[in-house]
Amino acid sequence: MASLVKLFVYDLSQGMARQMSLGLTGRQIDGIWHTSVVVFGQEFYYGQGIFVSPPGTTVHGRPVETIDMGETHLPPEVFMEYIDNLRSTYTAEKYHLLDNNCNNFTNDVCQFLTGKSIPSHITSLPADFLNTPFGQTLRPMIESFFSPSAHAPTAASTTPFAPSPSSALPAVISASASPLQTATSLSALTHHLTTNRAAVVFFTSATCPPCRMIEPEYERLVTEKNDTMRGKGRVIGVKVDTGVAFDAASKYSVRATPTFKFFLDGKEFHEFKGANASELKSSLDFLVWTAYPPHPHTLIQSLRHIPSLSTAPILFSAIGNLDSLFGKLDSVAKDAGAEISPDERSVLDKVKALLVQKKEGKPPATDLNVDKWDATFARLLFILPLQNHFPLLDLLRLLLLEKRVAAFYSRNPDTIIEVLQRVNVTNDAPANVDGTQNNPPKSLVLMTLRVVCNTFSNPALPETHLLSPSPAAHRASLTALLVSSLLSTDATVRQTAASLAFNIAAWVAHGRTGENVGGASGTVATAAAWVEDEDWEIEVASAVVGAVETETEEEIVHRLVSTLAHLLYLVPQESALPNLVTVLGVPEIIEAKIKNGIVKGEKVKAVCGEVVVVLKKSLEAGEGK
């Protein structure tokens, strides 16, 4: 009798790999995969040895994917004998994150049972990771976690600890991210010096009282310096015990401890001997200032508004007349001949109850099944004519401000992408015979813009799926919507498009400063995923400049100029963006807006003036190179 063989796939990063991998590695990695084999009513997996559990009851929770590997005709007793034979190969001591892991085990098992290999994107993950610059940087540290220790316990000792796959990778990344490192050999020290622009090396010894005295201050100064530099650079502190790393001490002629040596781009920059805390601080400050000179914009003492300009996303949270909204949805569904099923009606009733509670300021007591909501939304989106999507999109707009819903769409973005692409398809429709354009309905464009703006309530969603330069993302669709909407003849559409432009620019500003991005949902997206993209920023800025030039509404001008402020402030000094917007006439455009009385408010005038100052400073700094 044949037995089904299933492969359970888990993401040990719990979505973090998808969000952060592009920024860390330059390559999109959708998950850190752990797999197990389910057969004969049991789940078999490898970590600290081979384990067997009832399916779905392991510490890894629920699988993100179940893959059908086929059937096996082997009897259970033959399989269990095979597993027993594997126990000597897949032991706790032999676990290796890169070379002998859970996926190697499941691949062997599946080949034995069905003759099939598990998917290659799972087995090739370690090689894919190591082929990135970040992977090459981490390889020595990963090896130190898993290679046999030189001080391994004897046979009479307890079994050596082997990190589990779920704990090892976070530990490796956390250790590599720390600004405080230890080098036990010259090769380890060289690795740190060649992979970090700025480094301070603390040569110490176990028998040195002054070393013990200065060490806490050394650790504090290095840690605090990195905290204050968030996203603007990194200085690493490397502790070297001369009694252990003899070759390192010899290489750098260290004959007394404590000795502090400072390195810039791998070359010795400065040194001093002794436990002098004030000299350590001043030397560290000078190293950092040399390695990471302050941006010219930070030296403009007259700037008051741009540095403190809000980077909170503009969200559309107003809840209107819900009876009217749901009535409109029923009406357009009826007109389209779209029958709403009892299950879908139940979902919509729960959505309404949740929004009523929110409008009344009550904590939501309705348990909304987001999967069912998404299925209901997707079906109605497909059935209803484009011009009647307004009420459906309005519900999506409001639900995106709910944490659970926003988190769901950050993991399952297909619906958001479909909404975005539908309005762009309409925008790209060919012109009529008489030359007129089949423009999409205003309501469709407006609600799509508001939906996209509200995705910023959970920064992981736009960051991963709308703003990333990855081919898997949909930044081109987002940009197309923005550019066309900024030129709309309708002021409400232009104002909403200006809000979207502001949200994009605020995300850019967060990326440059290295700060965490917190939206209304409280979700945090790390700046590790940030990658400066000059060409795209120029495209966005060009559209914004064109919109400013033709805009006559002061509030819209305010949002657009604030967008330019975020795009220009702290822009990389080698960027062509300041030159481009100057050529496009931004200083003259801003002056004309003030002179013609379109810009009247003092705060708006101040931001306009500071944009011109920032531009001038960037151009001066470029000429001085």
The answer to whether the CB of 567 falls within 8 A of the CB of 540 is yes
Q: Do the strands 42-47 and 65-72 form a parallel or antiparallel pair, or are they unpaired?
A: unpaired
Helical residues (DSSP H) of 360-402, grouped into ranges: 370-383, 390-399
Give the contacts of 461 (CB within 8 A, at least 6 positions apart): 406, 409, 410, 413, 416, 455
Q: Shortest CA distance to 329 belongs to which of 424, 321, 401?
A: 321
**Residue keyed to tokens 């230890």:** 182
The answer to whether the CB of 113 falls within 8 A of the CB of 6 is no
CA–CA dist 441, 424 (Å, integer) = 12
The catalytic site residues sit at 34, 102
Helical residues (DSSP H) of 70-160, grouped into ranges: 76-86, 102-114, 120-123, 125-130, 133-146
Cα dihedral 265, 269, 273, 276 sign: negative
CA–CA dist 216, 239 (Å, integer) = 12
CA–CA dist 205, 209 (Å, integer) = 9
Give the contacts of 28 (CB within 8 A, at least 6 positions apart): 18, 21, 22, 468, 470, 472
CA 538 to chain centroid: 22
Phi/psi at 6 (5° precision): -115, 145
b/e per residue, 518-544, with b = 16+ CB within 10 A?
bbbbebebbbbbbeebeebbbbbbebb
- DSSP conformation class of 535: H
